[in-house]
Amino acid sequence: MNAIKPVAIVTGASTGIGKHISIKLSKNNYHVILISRNKQKLQLVEKYIKDIGNDCSIVCADVGEKSSIEKISSIPNIHNIDVLVNNAGIGVFNKIQNISVSEWDEQINTNLRGSFLMTKLVIDSMIKKQSGKIVFMNSVAGLNPYPFSSAYVASKYGLRGFSSSLREELRDHNIKVISIHPGAIDTPFWDNVKGDFPREDMLSVEDIATATVDAILAKNNVVHEEIVIRRTAGDIK
């Protein structure tokens, strides 16, 4: 690892938005630590980044589980993180009476608890050096309620509350807290979602990754606190 490079962690980095953010950060001279539950897909992203001459490392872990956080805490440079992108997320869309307790818990754990645990992992070192950027990949579901999405919406509303409070808590430490609220995006997120969703009409991962990395790279005295990204035609109904 090149010690002079800034270091970024991206969770949910094996596919979709996280993969594209990781590649873009690597092209902007970051050493990227990619985290995901899927080791095989992580290795493919790792190979791509290294094949284009950039730096990265991978950790196979579930950010919603404390045992995985302990594993992540042992990686080199964990106390010298410049950027944390809390991107890992899942969704189950169904009537409330058809959502199981385990499905509820999994969404809260991954979407909200995981972001809390990852933030706690890096925050002391960011405060010590009075510098850092923490990105939360939220959703328009963190701004507006949608039917058949109770657990997902709850997790995203909670994530917005957490990030908004954190932003004020860390403002005096020169730590930027950035929340991204995309509309529906064509990613593998939808592969196992029941329903007829017009994926060809969704936003692209490239759109979201570009906006996110632009916010990360903004000059030091500017922070894009909340970014809402929708299609010009509005949300998909």
Active-site annotation, residues: 152
CA 49, 52, 53, 56: dihedral to nearest 10 degrees?
Answer: 0
The pair of structure tokens assigned to 72 is 């992540």
CB within 8 A of 191, min separation 6: which ones?
none
Residue ranges in the chain assigned as alpha helix (H): 16-27, 39-51, 66-72, 101-108, 114-129, 150-170, 205-216
Report how far residue 121's alpha carbon sits from residue 130's, in angstroms, rounded to the nearest whole number: 16
CA atoms within 13 A on the CB side of 64: 17
